[in-house]
Chains A and B, each alone.
Chain A
């Protein structure tokens, strides 16, 4: 089984408060801690668990800059066999469709039975996997929280839908699955593991390597463009309690009593 997992380097929202910069052109990027997108970690773990049973290779791929190498290495330290960086000035400013087009070209350069993406990343688009599948003309399932291999052509997959219910389907390979958190427990990666893969060569492919027309991707090809970032004017918002912790606790208890929050 050859599995390709598409991953992304994103600001870690567990480590940072995300704020808008002075001009609204971007988020404040100074001192940001980056990591691999939460959903992608589950996708890589799932891929590794599958090849542990069925044999084969896991390749992690990302569209990004040189600094994206660190997330590729992190996922290789988890157990992915190969990394692949898709990098070109022409890729900058791509919308979801642009990213999917670049990934489509990379997929066609290899031979994969399964392609995973995270269900969504920092922009909450939840779109690249579905676009990639449609561009490749292969079946797709989003928000997958269970994968069972039935035979070398077919999988049984569960999609997590509203209310935590699960929609089970049979899907033929090759296919694209977007992976939902909770499908597994991603393994811990220690410094040791990272060190082991620190000097592994990671191939880089450009627009011309991939045969992607520069005008079709990046800012030039994007139909959807982000104009600015902003923080909306708060509506009512919460009444903020201030004072020492004890004072706040006492005030809160009064409020809770009035609202039936204390029995």
Chain B
């Protein structure tokens, strides 16, 4: 059987939640053993490697100054040199995994499947995987021929983290095999996201608007409702892309992570990148004209309606009450 690997992403010496989710993901594929692979440099790398031995029997460490910042090009080169041919590599599907995974699969000459949300097992060398298309509106089964290995990115948050921490594993230093890590894309710096007028991460109640708002002029309707409720207005990404609201109001993986008590999703379809920014298990009310919109799967209360008609009525009932 092919050897499974889980690529561990981390920040400031702390592994991302995905690190333990990948343990569960690999178990679902009945992998005999999965080896964690961690790249970086210095003491933070060591901290992560040591912590991972609780969850993985074997942790491969690749320490190199060129990996101090996780530059996907350098990481790819290191992995290609270190991983045995035919390996099955699991990587979290976030901005780093998107940068690393496709090219890695080409250089490993293996198959690539992105954004797996579930596994339905392995028969011979074929893995059956569940994915989603059209922003989560439909799901698909895909088969992946892993006879020459595979790179699979796994959606964060869909597998339960394996908290058993009973692996009692060991760190194996593979730094010597990393090879030449020179890059043609040189990392310069991080530019922090802009701070806006309202800090939606502190709001208790959010009236959040999506593409269903249809026109910049309709935002006033949401403002009115928010005012009546004592809420702040947040939004999905397309509203920011259209420059209708500031980036600091965007909820989601590439925006803010909010923790309100009540979240009103108005004309938002419910893509995982959007829902990924809603934490703390709030009471979610979704209003959408499509009864099959994925947002209804995560909402507590659903209303099938045109938000442009529904919001003014709700505002009126609140202020009149």
Contacts and interface: CB of A to CB of B under 8 A. Distances in A.
B205 A245 contact: no
B52 to A, nearest CB: 21
Contact of B141 (A125, A166, A226, A241): A226
B134 A129 contact: no
Given A164-B254, A224-B142, A260-B261, A124 B313 contact: no
Contact of B95 (A142, A170, A171, A232): A142
Interface of B: 71-73, 94-96, 98-107, 111-115, 128, 130-135, 137-145, 148, 183-194, 204-205, 211, 229-231, 237-238, 240-243, 247, 250, 253-257, 261-262, 264, 269, 283-286, 290, 292, 296-305, 309-310, 313-314, 317-318, 321
A234 interface: yes
A39 B188 CA distance: 25
Chain A to chain B: the 8 pairs with minimum beta-carbon distance, closest first? A263-B230, A130-B102, A238-B302, A261-B262, A134-B106, A164-B193, A134-B103, A223-B111
Interface residues on A, range: 35 or more
A162 B301 contact: no
A18 B237 CA distance: 20
A202 interface: no
Contacts of B148: 223
Contacts of B96: 161
B103 A230 contact: no
Given A140-B73, A156-B188, A162-B254, A248 B303 contact: yes
B57 to A, nearest CB: 29
Given A160-B95, A169-B185, A227-B143, A253 B317 contact: yes
A241 B301 contact: yes
B141 A263 contact: no
A175 B309 CA distance: 48
Contacts, number: 266
Given A124-B131, A124-B133, A140-B185, A238 B143 contact: no
Contacts of B191: 158, 165-168
A213 interface: no
A131 B256 contact: no
A127 interface: yes
Nearest to B253: A162
A118 B237 CA distance: 16
B185 A171 contact: yes
Interface in A116-131: 119, 122-131
A167 B187 contact: yes
Contact of A19 (B94, B135, B138, B286): B138
A164 B142 contact: no
B243 to A, nearest CB: 7
A127 B283 contact: no
A161 to B, nearest CB: 4
Contact of B145 (A14, A19, A223, A230): A223
Given A235-B297, A237-B297, A248-B305, A169 B142 contact: no
